[in-house]
């Protein structure tokens, strides 16, 4: 789509969470809908309608590609969630993935694509969107212990020198085509934008001290892989919505912005009005209310939502960067806490709209 679509969305004063999980869990058959493309598509459409956004964003479920990748190498779906490579994957694992890219997807992947097709064929007023995990984050889900070899790689150690570092490199090489496969299927189903989520690319997995000392680890393990994903999206004519809710350094944010995402979604550990200096105005900043803690009134009192929303809008107006007020991540439905979560979402939506459409577009 034209970049002006996203910029106008920001100018219009839209505010909405990534909230399909909230709506899904209201349904008595929510488990069954995970593998029912039409039922899942109805939830995604209802979510967009409820929060008054044209972006039909799916569930931010970052387990789909892992199960699909493992399925391609013979690991059944009922083992996928808990499965990890305890050592370096077998030498032929990558070849098996590459040889299986045209194989049928898992039921969850198929349902996600059918849900996108449901939106694309029945709701001309909505922008069907896809969802994908980022390569680095998928790698961390595949290995039993990714932190130690990632640190070793940060010292300059390569896979030729260490088997555990080789496991990281091989897992990344397996992750990229698996993610590209899922993206292609979603775009073929009608997705016009894909939200790529890379939350593990953060200060926990990647040592800030190593980066400050000149290590190229962020480029080697994160940015290089993401560029391949961006190239796939460009080839398919789909827009990148990039999400990283991890704790980041300024150089990390600056590097992520070089991917030229239509929207960059960041977590509440960041101050978006400071990040705006690191991000070109052609990219809309999205976020970043602390919605992960909305379930708890002790951590986020109801009145704090108003204050945080006003603070974000005031600062973003002052610097004039395109901005959409929203959640720091997907807003999960927490059993027993549905009411306070919903109340805070509604409180945000109904609070004073300091960035309303009455503001001059030139300010954004």
Q: Provide the pLDDT for residue 349.
A: 67
The predicted model gives 126-154 an average pLDDT of: 97
> What is the separation, in whole angstroms, between the first and last Cα of the chain?
19
For 237-274, the pLDDT digits (tens) are 999 999 999 999 999 999 999 999 999 999 999 999 99
Residue 347: which pLDDT band, with cuts at 50, 70 and 90? Answer: confident
Average pLDDT, the chain: 93
The predicted model gives 48-63 an average pLDDT of: 97
Measured at the CA of 356, the angle between CA 351 and CA 359, to 5 degrees, comes to 145
Torsion of CA 7, 9, 11, 13, to 10 degrees: -150
Q: Phi, psi (5° rounding) for residue 288? A: -135, 55
Write the burial class of residue 110 (CB in 10 Å: 0-12 exposed, 13-18 middle, 19+ buried).
middle
- Report the percentage of the chain scoring pLDDT > 90: 89
- The token duo for 134 is 């980022």
Higher pLDDT pick, 364 / 354: 354
Using the predicted structure, report yes or no on whether residue 13 has a pLDDT greater than 60.
yes
For 163-207, the pLDDT digits (tens) are 999 999 999 999 999 999 999 999 999 999 999 999 999 999 999
Using the predicted structure, report yes or no on whether residue 352 has a pLDDT greater than 80.
no
Dist CA 128 CA 107 (whole Å): 20
pTM for this one?
A: 0.94
For 64-112, the pLDDT digits (tens) are 999 999 999 999 988 999 999 988 988 799 999 999 999 999 999 999 9
Residue 160: which pLDDT band, with cuts at 50, 70 and 90? Answer: very high
- The token duo for 240 is 């990148």
Q: Provide the pLDDT for residue 188.
A: 98
Q: Provide the pLDDT for residue 356.
A: 44
Residue 359: which pLDDT band, with cuts at 50, 70 and 90? Answer: very low
| Interaxial angle between packed helices 163-189 and 147-154, expressed in degrees from 0 to 180 and rounded to the nearest 10 | 110
Q: Provide the pLDDT for residue 346.
A: 83
- The token duo for 259 is 């991917």
Residue 350: which pLDDT band, with cuts at 50, 70 and 90? Answer: low
Residue 323: which pLDDT band, with cuts at 50, 70 and 90? Answer: very high
CA 116 to chain centre: 16
- Please provide the DSSP assignment of 10-35 as one string: HHTT-B--B-HHHHHTTSTTHHHHTT
């Amino acid at each position: 789509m034209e970049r002006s679509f996203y910029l106008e969305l920001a100018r219009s004063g839209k505010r909405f969470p990534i909230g399909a999980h909230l709506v899904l869990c209201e349904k008595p058959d929510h488990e069954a809908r995970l593998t029912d493309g039409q039922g899942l598509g109805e939830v995604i459409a209802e979510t967009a309608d409820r929060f008054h956004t044209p972006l039909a964003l799916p569930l931010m479920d970052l387990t789909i590609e892992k199960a699909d990748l493992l399925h391609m190498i013979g690991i059944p779906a009922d083992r996928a969630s808990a499965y990890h490579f305890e050592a370096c994957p077998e030498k032929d694992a990558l070849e098996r993935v590459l040889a299986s890219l045209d194989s049928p997807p898992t039921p969850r992947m198929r349902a996600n694509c059918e849900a996108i097709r449901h939106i694309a064929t029945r709701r001309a007023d909505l922008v069907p969107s896809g969802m994908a995990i980022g390569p680095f984050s998928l790698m961390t889900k595949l290995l039993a212990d990714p932190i130690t070899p990632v640190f070793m790689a940060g010292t300059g150690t390569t896979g030729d020198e260490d088997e555990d570092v080789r496991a990281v490199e091989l897992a990344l090489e397996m992750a990229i085509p698996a993610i590209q496969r899922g993206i292609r299927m979603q775009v073929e189903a009608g997705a016009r934008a894909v939200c790529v989520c890379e939350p593990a690319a953060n200060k926990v997995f990647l040592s800030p001290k190593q980066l400050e000392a000149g290590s190229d680890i962020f480029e080697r393990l994160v940015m290089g892989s993401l560029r391949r994903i961006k190239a796939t999206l460009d080839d398919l004519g789909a827009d990148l919505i990039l999400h990283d809710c991890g704790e980041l350094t300024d150089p990390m944010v600056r590097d992520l912005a070089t991917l030229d995402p239509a929207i960059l979604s960041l977590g509440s550990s960041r101050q978006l009005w400071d990040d705006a200096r690191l991000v070109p105005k052609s990219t809309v900043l999205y976020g970043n209310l602390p919605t992960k803690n909305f379930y708890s009134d002790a951590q986020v009192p109801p009145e704090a939502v108003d204050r945080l929303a006003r603070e974000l809008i005031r600062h973003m107006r002052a610097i004039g960067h395109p901005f959409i007020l929203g959640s720091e991540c997907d807003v999960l439905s927490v059993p027993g806490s549905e009411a306070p979560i919903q109340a805070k979402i509604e409180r945000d939506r109904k609070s004073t709209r300091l960035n309303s459409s009455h503001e001059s577009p030139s300010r954004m």
